[in-house]
Amino acid sequence: MALAPSPWILAVGAVLSGSAAGWVWAPYSDIVSRTAARRHQPVLLAVITTGTSLGLIALAGVALVGLSSSWRVTWAGIASAAALAAAVNLRAVPALKPHDDDRGPTQTRSPWRRAMVPPLVYAVLYFAAITVYFTYASESVRLGGNTASATSLLFALIGLGGLAGLGTARMTRAAGTAKVGVASVWVVSLALVLLGLGRSSIAVILASAVLLGIGYMVGSARTRTAWTAAHSDPLVLTSSFRR
């Protein structure tokens, strides 16, 4: 994206960078489930998920630097950080062989079962709402007549609000995964409503950013914890979504 000579190359870069989180989260969930004690897994997964918040805060700083030069500088900075993270992972993350555990028959069960419908519908709708917010957040700031630096502040506040995700394990123990999931959806919905109503008020837009961060990270951590705890067994996963 930093070197894109045309909108089409820029679009390809956006798709690749947008898919990066999915490529990273899946192996980390597997690493946690296979190397960490069960009692530590919810906390570890919450910390991994909430790392996105720190990334958003860092992004806000890089974006401010880009305002004084070029947007390409922002993407070059992100690419450099990604390369550094890849090097650290190659050095520090344990290399596990495929299926070198003792889960037995559940390892080969197909995920495409009727029991998977509720959690899959939840995941699709939930992350679709998140995507809508990120798509229109910058535009709402611009239509309100705010400066470009306000957009950086918005993403920084999403990151700060997202730090609430560190407490997801405690929340699910106290209220259950289903209630935490429903609450996350409501918080994200409220953030979207405030974003739509806040074009003339930067304060309302920034408040929506904090709420979006809370709902985004808590809901993501809750989903990953339930999925990993299921050990790829759809029936266990579905029961965790109903508790």
pLDDT tens-digit map of 48-86: 888 888 888 888 887 777 777 788 888 888 889 889 989
Q: Is the pLDDT of residue 236 over 50?
A: no
Q: Which of 21-25, 50-54, 109-113, 215-219 has the lowest mean pLDDT?
A: 109-113
pLDDT at 215: 93
Q: How many other C-beta atoms are found inside a 10 Å radius of the C-beta of residue 152? A: 22
Which residue ranges make up each domain of the chain? 7-242
Lookup: tokens for 144? 């309100």
Query: With the C-alpha atoms ordered 138, 141, 145, 148, is the resulting torsion angle positive or negative?
Result: negative
Dist. CA 131–CA 137, nearest whole Å: 10
d(CA 214, CA 218): 6
Burial (CB count <10 Å: 0-12, 13-18, 19+), residue 126: buried
Q: Which of 15-19, 30-34, 105-109 has the lowest mean pLDDT?
A: 105-109
In which band, very low, low, confident or very high, does the pLDDT at 181 lie, cut at 50, 70 and 90?
confident
- The three-point CA angle 218-224-227 to 5° equals 140
Compute how many other C-beta atoms are within 10 angstroms of the C-beta atom of residue 220: 26
pLDDT for residue 216: 92
